[in-house]
Amino acid sequence: MARTSMTDLEGLRFVITGAARGIGAATARLAARRGASVMVSDVDDGDGLRTVEAIRAAGGTAAYEHCDVSDPAQLQGLMEATADTFGGIDVLYNNAGITEHAFTSDTSLETMSVETFDRVYAINLRGPLLATKYALPHLRRSDRASVINCGSTRSFLGYPDNLAYGSTKGGVALLTKNLAVDLAPYGIRVNCCCPGGTMTTSMRNRLEHADDREELEWDLRSRSLLGRVGEAPEIAEVVCFLASDAASFVNGVVWLVDGGALSWRDTIDILGMR
């Protein structure tokens, strides 16, 4: 099928890490609707396979591969499986990420273990680096190749009680720029999408377990100039744009998608020190 617009993804072969739920799953579904073949990968095989089933039920092309991005061998296997399944790789979306709060309450500098920091680093920063390394031989054979990393508002500012997550997401922003420089000779674009507060499964869980849900909801909404949090499909639109021919001259960009939150708020506001 011929492409009908610059934002169509017809014929592109995607591999997406952390694609079982949330932004990753929304991106997988949108890319498939626009004509891409999508390799969904995650450590959550149940939700990952359900994402693939939803794509196929809608008439799209998708496959699933288990992958823990902290494991170099699994990352290498993911790229080989994608190339074997679809005949190559055109787009790598490094979406998988984690915060230290996901598995420990000891998150201050004094109490956080080295193992906790290493785990967050291995997933959030080393993961995208090695995924790109192992995808590179396949990306070099594509004439529409791009890499998209997932940053955060934490890529721009220091936040309280977020040392591991914030420092690794800051690293992702500069990793993006360095990869853009190194991969430019191969015609491979590298960009970064940095979501602000987005309604995902993890945010819903946070709201459900909040001591004061109403107060937390107000706080999350008030951060954005639009008075609400983002939705995963809205972030997926930006990622798919960056992968499309419409973004053919977009390279080395760290794109903030936060409803304007950081246009007016900074760390002092967040800490309530004004």
- The residues that are catalytic are 165
Q: Are 163 and 104 in contact (CB under 8 A)?
A: no
Closest CA to 63 of 45, 46, 49, 84: 49
Tokens standing for residue 188: 């491979």
Residue found by looking up tokens 């956080």 in the block: 112
- CA-nearest of 145, 239, 135 to 184 is 145
According to DSSP, residue 122 is labeled: I
SS3 letters for 137-163?
A: HHHCCCCCCEEEEECCHHHCCCCCCCH
Cα–Cα distance, 152 to 55 (Å, whole number): 27
User: Do residues 236 and 268 touch, judged by C-beta distance below 8 A?
Assistant: no
